Chains A and B, each alone.
Chain A
Amino acid sequence: MIARLMSALAMLIASACMMSAAAAAALSIGLGADVTSIDPHSNNAAPNNSIAEQIFNKLIENDARQQPQPGLAESWRAIDDLTWEFKLRRGVKFHDGSGFTAADVAFSIERPGILNAPGGFTIYTRSIVDKIIVDPYTIRLKTATPYPNMPTDMAGLIIVSSQAAKGAVSSDFDSGKAAIGTGPWKFVRYIKGDRIELIRNDNYWGRKPVWDRVTFRLITSDPSRIAALLAGDVQMIEIVPTADYAKLKTNKDITVFTTISNRMIHLHLDSNRDKSPFVTDKSGAPLEKNPFKDARVRHAISKAINRTAIVERVMEGLAIPAGQLMPEGFFGVSPNLKPEDFDPDGARKLLAEAGYPDGFGLTLHGPNNRYVNDDQIVQAVAQMLTRVGIITKVETLPFSVYVSRANKLDFSAALLGWGVTTGEATYPLRSLVATYNQAKGLGTWNWSRYSNPQADTLLEQALATVDTSKREKLLQQATELVINDYGIIPLHYQVNTWAARKNLVYTPRTDERTYAHEVRANP
């Protein structure tokens, strides 16, 4: 082990000659998105969570493929339909030396609800109606209705110290006063817009980091991040721009790590209204009927899209054609669904059958600063649709404008990306394709207002089924119903990328997290 560290040390000095020897066991990583707070309950945004999850732990941790692993809880089970029991890890210490117990869990479940912030963490805690501390290392969580997603929720909620975080506001975390966790790294410094510095927690209960300290630099400009890596200012970066991917791969000083992402890029087609705002006839006059109500038209659009071409040309190989809501290996993925084959003739035939032999006119909307190459994807899709007779115009907007208009149902056809952070199918089903229902909290992002009562029933059954294999069957069936009815048009799954100096190894993750303790030195 020591020999391995020493060799890593030597290589580091060689590769980054500007660094002094004393700092050589330090790691520095360039992040691609701004971290706005260290408070793990203030703003549920991926860049913030990625940092917080290195200082703190959750009851259940996700591995690189988002499968649940024991975290601060050693085991968990449903003791009846309305009660989940978590057995907590013994001997875990917070960074200030105090012991971790069930009281900290109870406190962390309460905190998101009392914090005056945009938050977004109460989604993990609101199903809990009661918390029973059986002993310091056993906690039972009661729900009002059967709630199988409790482990998923507990894989999203960060556990803070009930002493250090008592009454703490977000700035107490930013200053480090309350940033006392149980995680592999201790908080040192957070300079907004610039960097986050962490130091190794030598008493960590899990696998300890190999680095003494780590600095996360916030370099949101793509070319600057690449330059920082090439110049040796940082040893690793996340989010490699697709345009630089091919060149970096041939660079002998750099290794690129890629894996499929949990993010699926898809189209919503306005499929429930009688008239749709951006559908016209070929001369541009509004159409009396909404063609997307007809599943054959939606099917034709799916057939008209050449997903392989988008992946190879627009995404430069950094994507995988999608045939359903989540990539393989996630809970609830159907083995029967494959990406739609490119078939322009079939698309024309379907359009003719549906009563549109000459096609129609359409404006396709998309964001231009949110997903990898989003504006180019929209343009490519528009050309493909135009080829089969749907004369398609393109309008792309900044995400801030785009998402507000889309939520108001301003569009006829719109692009959206969906990262399945939970790693299971209830989340995309519930948010994207379930019938819009304010009271039940379903279909929140269902921009198509697509509605399939049969799939809804299956989903609601699944949401109340604690038995894992039964739930998986239900989710697969619901997914198949929706996809085969073209309730949503999947395009591709993104690929997550990291690039590092040759001497480093990173296990790429589906959830886009960049964990410094998972960065190892090459043996």
Chain B
Amino acid sequence: MLVFIIRRVLQSALALLVMSALIFVGVFAIGNPIDILINPQADQAEIARATAALGLDQPLWVQYWEFLRNAFTGDLGRSFSHNIPAVQLIFERMPATVELALCAMVIAILLGIPLGLVAGLKPDAWYSKTIMAGSILGFSLPTFWVGLMLIMIFSVFLGWLPSTGRGHTTLLLGVPVSFLNWDGLVHLMMPALNLALFKLSLLIRLTRAGTREAMLQDYVKFARAKGLPLRRIVGVHVLKNILIPIVTVIGLEFGSLIAFAIVTETIFAWPGMGKLLIDSINVLDRPVIVAYVLIIVCMFVIINLIVDLLYSLLDPRVRLAGARA
């Protein structure tokens, strides 16, 4: 177990190093941040001053070396356009995104698994077909279009929900969250639903396929023969067996929800970090881009680790790779 975790940490460190180098080269290849940041009124001397102030006059490898040296002390650089530390900027915006992603995930799980079970147990019923047709729509409609339609219907025509923004936040353990007050909650509903739609469809399909397969297995037949009620067969035996792929997907998809909620955040003007990333890429704010990606890599590593640990809880046959090593 410990060996397993240590190896994971080493692999992650390597991944972080490679990612940071890639982004440095990538941003360098795109263009010069000063060209965009500088006010057009600046003349050549002022441009040179600003370039030096941001350290961009150094050769790329020197800039990268400086970055690595500072990174070891926990300093990932200062945002060019916001002029505050990039990490601080990202962590200021992270709670909004994490809250949105968590809500979306909860919606997807609470609706997706039961609906998938229903569709898997009674595949030919009309309601199962409706559920499956709905999931196809959830898959195929583009997020930005659904988001705009939600705004048009619930805000512009019906006037029930606010169109954009985050609304009031309350502090929970020092972190601002919006689901604890009514204004925040009504602001949260539409973007969370919009973000959940795709994952919801995914979970419905995954659960349905798993259920259909599991229902044909010998252990289900045996349980039936033993006279167990259907509720117990499905709720305990089937669910436990189909949960491994579902947990894997939930884990991976949760990471991507946080990292790439960009479209939903932009449409609903949600002040999360996805919007920050897009804005930063547009002005080549390299410290923010690098810090963002490094934080996301760390997040994926942690999520994967949790998923692996969950496996061994769900399925006693799974032993973590460390045992083999």
Q: Which residues of A contact B (CB under 8 A)?
A: 17-18, 34, 36-37, 39, 42-45, 116-123, 126, 156, 169-171, 174, 191-195, 217-221, 223-224, 227-228, 230-233, 369, 398-401, 403-405, 407, 418-419, 421-422, 427, 430-431, 438, 441-442, 444-445
Contacts and interface: CB of A to CB of B under 8 A. Distances in A.
A118 to B, nearest CB: 4
20 contacts: A18-B162, A39-B83, A44-B41, A117-B83, A118-B37, A120-B37, A120-B42, A170-B82, A194-B165, A220-B279, A231-B155, A233-B163, A369-B282, A400-B281, A401-B31, A404-B36, A441-B43, A442-B43, A444-B43, A445-B40
Contact of B267 (A194, A221, A230, A441): A221
Contacts of B269: 194, 217-221, 224, 228
B59 to A, nearest CB: 17
B81 A399 contact: no
A169 B85 CA distance: 11
Q: Which of A122, A174, A192, A232 has the most CB of B within 10 A?
A: A192
Interface residues of B, number: 56
Contact of A120 (B44, B50, B275): B50
A398 B166 CA distance: 29
Contacts of A232: 159
A121 B47 CA distance: 11
B259 interface: no
Contacts of B272: 193
B45 interface: yes
Q: Which of B84, B159, B269 has the most CB of A within 10 A?
A: B269
Nearest to A116: B53
Contacts of B249: none
Interface of B: 30-32, 34-47, 49-50, 53-54, 79-84, 88-89, 92-93, 96, 148, 151-152, 155-156, 159, 162-166, 266-269, 271-272, 275-276, 279, 281-284
A366 to B, nearest CB: 15
B37 A224 contact: no
B271 A192 contact: yes
Q: Which of A42, A119, A121, A407 has the most CB of B within 10 A?
A: A119
Given A18-B159, A194-B165, A399-B36, A118 B53 contact: yes
A155 B187 CA distance: 40
B83 A191 contact: no
Contacts of A223: 148, 267
Nearest to A121: B39
Contacts of A444: 42-44, 47
A120 B39 contact: yes
Contact of B276 (A171, A193, A228): A193
A194 B166 contact: yes
Contact of A123 (B34, B37, B39, B166): B39
Contact of A122 (B37, B49, B152, B155): B49
Nearest to B84: A171
A422 to B, nearest CB: 7
Given A224-B164, A399-B282, A400-B36, 6 more contacts: A119-B53, A217-B164, A227-B151, A227-B164, A400-B281, A431-B40
A231 B162 contact: yes
Contacts of A430: 43
Nearest to A48: B81
Contacts of B84: 37, 169-171, 174
Contacts of A427: 41
A213 B269 CA distance: 21
B233 to A, nearest CB: 47
B267 A45 contact: no
Nearest to B79: A36
Contact of B35 (A18, A369, A404): A404
Contact of B31 (A192, A231, A404, A442): A404
A123 to B, nearest CB: 5
Nearest to B269: A219
Nearest to B272: A193
Contact of B39 (A45, A191, A192, A228): A45
B161 to A, nearest CB: 9
B36 A37 contact: no
Q: Which of B30, B82, B166 has the most CB of A within 10 A?
A: B82
A36 B79 CA distance: 10
Nearest to A119: B50
A79 B7 CA distance: 74
Nearest to B82: A36
A11 to B, nearest CB: 17
Contacts of A400: 30-31, 36, 281-284
Contact of B155 (A36, A123, A227): A227
A404 B81 contact: no
B44 A192 contact: no
A416 B241 CA distance: 61
A87 B163 CA distance: 48
B50 A192 contact: no
A369 B36 CA distance: 13
B242 to A, nearest CB: 39
B53 A431 contact: no
A79 B252 CA distance: 70
B54 A441 contact: no
B32 A407 contact: yes
A34 B279 CA distance: 8
A227 B283 contact: no
A401 B281 CA distance: 11
A192 B82 contact: yes
